[in-house]
Amino acid sequence: MAALVVTVLLTACSNYSSPAISANQNESQQQGADSQRLEYVIPIPNFPFSQIRQDLVEVEAIQALGIQSTTFGFMPGNFTHPVWSCPSLGLPIPVTDQLSNPSQILPDPNNTYSTNNPGSVIIPQEDPNGIYQGDSTGTNVLCLDSAGVPYDHYNEGYDDTVTATAHWDGTTGQIVVTGAPVMPVCKVKILNAAKHKAEETCVK
């Protein structure tokens, strides 16, 4: 009799858990089928061209090629007028930008539990100029003097740069572009159409 009760209880438990598992499986299958139908009825678009991608290519080309620009510097909290401006090259460079990796990976000196796998820690790495770069809102602007000779203008405020000759209009409180905009010329060259290989080059 006792064995029969145990058998009945185990059968009941087994029958109780099965619907829950089955419901989860059914829900997953239904969602999978629904997603498949939506992918068929409303597929992910296939764009032959992406303007936002091309814009980023040209912005990076401006930085790399040093395209002619005009930069205006503002003090934090005061955007009624710039405190300085200059013809410039490219775009402002945040002082936190670095040529070398700012971090290095070293064995964890505090992990003494394992000699075969001591773990690792990431610590700051000295820059090539011999110092450790800290956090800052400063930017470097490569300005041009009247003879076209570049010099660095460091600013801890805010910079506004346009790739064109421009001036500040005190009446409207706006930057006014006065010359022709300057942008890099970027062209795509097909290297191997069958293998979908191509390259894009940009020049001034």
Confidence of residue 164 (pLDDT cuts 50, 70, 90): very high
Angle at 133 between CA 132 and CA 135, to 5 degrees: 135
Distance from C-alpha of 15 to C-alpha of 138, rounded to nearest angstrom: 68
In the numeric block, which tokens belong to residue 44?
Answer: 């992910």
- Tell me if 2 is assigned to some domain: no
In a domain, 32, yes or no: no
Q: Please identify, among 113, 134, 155, the residue that sits at the C-terminal boundary of a domain.
A: 134
> What is the structure's pLDDT at 6?
43
Q: What is the DSSP letter of 140?
A: E
Mean pLDDT of the chain: 86
198 and 149 together in one domain: yes
Residue 102, pLDDT score? 86
Domain that holds residue 110: 97-134
pLDDT in tens, 70-103: 999 998 888 889 999 999 999 999 998 888 888 8
The predicted structure's pLDDT at residue 129? 85
Taking only the tens place, the pLDDT of each residue in 14-60 is: 444 455 668 888 889 999 999 999 999 999 899 989 999 999 999 99
